[in-house]
Amino acid sequence: MIRNILEYLEQTAVRLPEKTAFSTGEDRISFAELETAAKKIGSYLLRFGGRNQPVVVLTEKTPISVAAFLGCVYSGNFYTPIDAAMPKERALSILRTLSPQAVLTDEKSRKRAEALGYEGKMTALEDILTGGIDEDALAEIRRCSIDTDPLYALFTSGSTGVPKGVVVSHQSVINLTEWYTEAFDITEKEIIGNQAPFYFDSSVKDIYAVLKTGAQMEIIPKMLFSFPVKLLEYLEEKQINYIDWVPSALCIVADTGALEGRKPQYLKKIMFCGEAMPTKQYLVWREKYPDALFANIYGPTETTVDCTYYIIDREIAPDESIPIGYGCRNTDVFILNGDRLAAEGESGELCVRGRCLALGYYNNPEKTAEAFIQNPLNPHYPEKIYKTGDIAKYNERGEIVFLARKDSQIKHMGHRIELGEIETAVHSIDFIQNGVCLYDEKTQRIVLFYCGDGTQADILKRLRDKVPKYMFPNVIRQMEKLPMTLNGKIDRLALKEYYDRDNGK
Amino acid sequence: MDTEALMKILAELRPDVDFEENKELVDSGELDSFDIVSLVGELCDAYDIEIGADDIVPENFNSVEAICALITRLQED
């Protein structure tokens, strides 16, 4: 039985040493080179002496950044990717939460990394790669490793404005990879067109499918996702046959009509995850690719990327939403209404149990205890379940259908965002008295209402340093005052009505 | 063509971006896919043009001048 994800890499490096594992443009790394680079990075990290400690990898999205992740694992530690383009305050908040024993960066990201004003040590990967490998020490670390050791911590938006670090173990990722590669028949023949950023957990599937099967990952330059024709030409040129993208990326292609004039011929498997895939755009893709495998995949970071999936093997009516389907192998998914199972057709909170559950939130016992609770259906022995905060129900076919978020958390451009995090950032601007965010599902716009001075431009200029671009409000309205409920809270419902009325709905 | 109206659309889309100075709006990463899609929609409405997938390429969105040229060309078609 496999205990450590490095076994995937090592077995594939023996089988297919020269084959390209990860590439982007001209930059590529083979499985053998990946193993060597990861071992060098692991050997370097040994000097810090930590075990199961965080290491931050602050790089651009390149093949060598995967070697950095695996190097952290070789050293007996776990990794957290930070994007070089992440806003300063978010990156610093992650660094504060983790207090990592090391920060690895690359030449290209060095300037940005230094601009953070982070006081801990940072090491350039280029320098580490000139060093050697301490095989004996790495073997000793492996001998002691167990599959409940942490593999990575990825950060999600937190309602208090502080992002939460979801810690995931080797066994959860092994559980995912074994199921995923089998369910979608991923082999060394696959060329995976990667869209998900490495700090976004959807990329975990792409990365570990490559390591296990010997498939190749082609990292698609982010800029191409703004230009559908270029994107499709790229899929053709790189012979990409497999994509697992956030729906908004697929929608842009469908909405611009880019598929009308062209059809990348190698594409065989089309997956979407991260938010609900609108049926209209799905049907555009389906029409173009009647024989491709389409699957809708669902799962919060806390359940290790996926907990349900739906292979679309029947007609979907234009007015029907695509089901999220059934629990993944070795994963139990159920709908709770209070402390009991929801009846058929009744909506409730989607809950999950199984090996896929994350270990918890790093340095955050309160939030961990709130989300990972004792199974209310089982009073007899300790058993944790994860409450997703998503409302779902079974349809008449017995398929699970996603209905809504329980709280103010939204899905926007594939990102899970707490509106509260944007509000916290807005409140921290000195000329703002008060601000409230709504989400307009129809047009997919984040709407900010605020009281105070300053123009839209002033607000956005200040938000740049505080939250990522995808959290920027798309519509900003200045108000004389905000409506209040009887007990003195801001009346979100009234604001929503006001907004809808204003937009002629 | 009337660049003032275009500047107004751009300023409403991304008030934090300096459209007059930046000539690499796409290549510098300043405009992302959400901006491009929103902008395409706004331009189609405002100028009564159709911007097809073949015209949604970086060269046409890197600067205000490039966007103007695109609109002018499509209006003449």
- Alpha-carbon distance of A452 to A434, in angstroms, equals 7
DSSP structure string for A274-304: SSPPPHHHHHHHHHH-TTSEEEEEE--GGGS
Instruction: Tally A–B CB contacts below 8 A.
Output: 66
What are residue B7's phi and psi, to 5 degrees?
-60, -35
> Which residues of chain A lie closer than 8 angstroms to B52, CB-CB?
256-257
Instruction: Report the gap between the CA of B33 and the closest CA in chain A (Å).
Output: 4
Q: Which of B16, B33, B40 sits opposite A461 (nearest CB)?
A: B16
Q: In the structure, what pLDDT confidence band is assigned to residue A368 with cuts at 50, 70 and 90?
A: very high
Q: Which of A306, A304, A305, A309 is nearest to A322 (CA)?
A: A309
ipTM confidence score: 0.81
Q: Minimal Cα distance from A457: which residue of B?
A: B15
User: What average pLDDT does the segment A466-470 reach?
Assistant: 87
Domain(s) labelled CATH 2.30.38.10 in chain A stretch across 330-405
User: What average pLDDT does the segment A376-392 reach?
Assistant: 94
Residues sharing a CB contact under 8 Å with residue A75, sequence separation 6 or more, in sequence order: A41, A42, A43, A44, A45, A46, A48, A50, A55, A138, A141
Instruction: Report the gap between the CA of A475 and the closest CA in chain B (Å).
Output: 9
Question: What is the architecture, at CATH level 2, of domain A409-502?
Answer: 2-Layer Sandwich (3.30)
Residue B65 CA: distances (Å) to CA of A187, A437, A453, A494, B59:
47, 35, 33, 43, 11
Residue A459 CA: distances (Å) to CA of A450, B18, B36:
10, 15, 21
**A330-405: in CATH 3.30.70.890:** no
A450 close to A435: Cβ distance less than 8 angstroms: yes
- Strands (DSSP E) contained in A190-250 are 191-194, 216-219, 242-245
Q: In the structure, what pLDDT confidence band is assigned to residue B73 with cuts at 50, 70 and 90?
A: very high
Domain(s) labelled CATH 3.30.300.30 in chain A stretch across 409-502
Two structure tokens written together for B27: 């290549």
- Alpha-carbon distance of A96 to A98, in angstroms, equals 6
Q: Which of A222, A252, A456 sits opposite B37 (nearest CB)?
A: A252
In A372-455, alpha helices (H): 419-427
To the nearest whole percent, how much of chain A has pLDDT over 90?
Answer: 65
pLDDT given at position A502:
79
User: What average pLDDT does the segment A248-256 reach?
Assistant: 88
Task: Say whether A137 sits in a helix, a strand or coil.
Answer: helix
Residues sharing a CB contact under 8 Å with residue A124, sequence separation 6 or more, in sequence order: A104, A105, A106, A107, A110
User: What average pLDDT does the segment A237-264 reach?
Assistant: 92
- Alpha-carbon distance of A455 to A462, in angstroms, equals 11
Q: Minimal Cα distance from B51: which residue of A?
A: A256
Best B25, B56, B60 member to test A by mutation, with max A CBs in 10 Å, is B56
Residue A332 CA: distances (Å) to CA of A38, A145, A354, B39:
35, 27, 6, 44
β-partners of residue A216 are A191
Q: Minimal Cα distance from B25: which residue of A?
A: A223
Pairwise CB contact (< 8 Å): A230 & B14: no
Pairwise CB contact (< 8 Å): A413 & B29: no
**pTM for this model (two decimals):** 0.85
CB atoms closer than 10 angstroms to residue B48: 9
Question: What digits encode the pLDDT tens for the residues A85-120?
Answer: 777 888 899 999 999 999 999 988 888 888 888 888
β-partners of residue A331 are A354
Q: Minimal Cα distance from B57: which residue of A?
A: A227
- Alpha-carbon distance of A98 to A174, in angstroms, equals 24
Q: Given CB atoms, is B26 within the 8 Å cutoff of chain A?
A: yes
Identify the CATH number of the domain defined by range A1-145: 3.40.50.980
Residue A496, burial from CB neighbour count under 10 angstroms (0-12, 13-18, 19+): middle
> Which residues of chain B lie closer than 8 angstroms to A258, CB-CB?
53, 56
Residue B28 CA: distances (Å) to CA of A88, A114, A325, A461, B77:
18, 20, 40, 17, 30
Question: What digits encode the pLDDT tens for the residues A477-501?
Answer: 988 878 876 555 577 778 888 888 8
pLDDT given at position A346:
84
Pairwise CB contact (< 8 Å): B53 & A257: yes
User: What average pLDDT does the segment B40-55 reach?
Assistant: 89
A160 or A33: which leads in pLDDT:
A33
The CATH class that applies to domain A184-298 reads alpha beta
User: What average pLDDT does the segment A202-211 reach?
Assistant: 97
Q: What is the largest CA-CA distance in chain B?
A: 33
Question: What digits encode the pLDDT tens for the residues A116-162?
Answer: 888 888 999 999 999 999 999 999 999 999 999 999 999 986 555 57
- Phi-psi group of A274: left, alpha or beta (phi > 0 → left; psi -120 to 50 → alpha; rest → beta): left
A305 close to A205: Cβ distance less than 8 angstroms: yes
Residue A179 CA: distances (Å) to CA of A154, A172, A202:
21, 11, 15
Give Cα A120 distance to the centre of its chain: 26
pLDDT at A208 over 90: yes
Domains of chain B: 3-76 (1.10.1200.10)
Question: What digits encode the pLDDT tens for the residues B7-25?
Answer: 988 988 888 888 988 899 9
**Weakest mean pLDDT among A13-17, A178-182, A380-384, A409-413:** A409-413
A207 close to A236: Cβ distance less than 8 angstroms: no
Q: Given CB atoms, is B18 within the 8 Å cutoff of chain A?
A: no
> Which residues of chain A lie closer than 8 angstroms to B53, CB-CB?
228-229, 256-258, 260-261
Q: Given CB atoms, is B31 within the 8 Å cutoff of chain A?
A: yes
Q: Which of A223, A461, A474 sits opposite B26 (nearest CB)?
A: A223
Best B33, B38, B45 member to test A by mutation, with max A CBs in 10 Å, is B33
pLDDT given at position A497:
81
Q: What is the largest CA-CA distance in chain A?
A: 70
pLDDT at A232 over 70: yes
Q: Which of A223, A229, A464 sits opposite B56 (nearest CB)?
A: A229
Q: Which of A47, A211, A75, A50 is nearest to A139 (CA)?
A: A75
Domain(s) labelled CATH 3.40.50.980 in chain A stretch across 1-145, 184-298
A39 or B5: which leads in pLDDT:
A39
CB atoms closer than 10 angstroms to residue A292: 16
Q: Given CB atoms, is B42 within the 8 Å cutoff of chain A?
A: no
- Alpha-carbon distance of A433 to A268, in angstroms, equals 52
pLDDT at B33 over 90: no
Q: Minimal Cα distance from B33: which residue of A?
A: A226
Q: Which of A229, A252, A460 sits opposite B33 (nearest CB)?
A: A252
Q: Kindly report the average pLDDT of chain A as a whole number.
A: 91
Which residue type, as a one-letter code, is found at position A389? G
Q: In the structure, what pLDDT confidence band is assigned to residue A269 with cuts at 50, 70 and 90?
A: very high
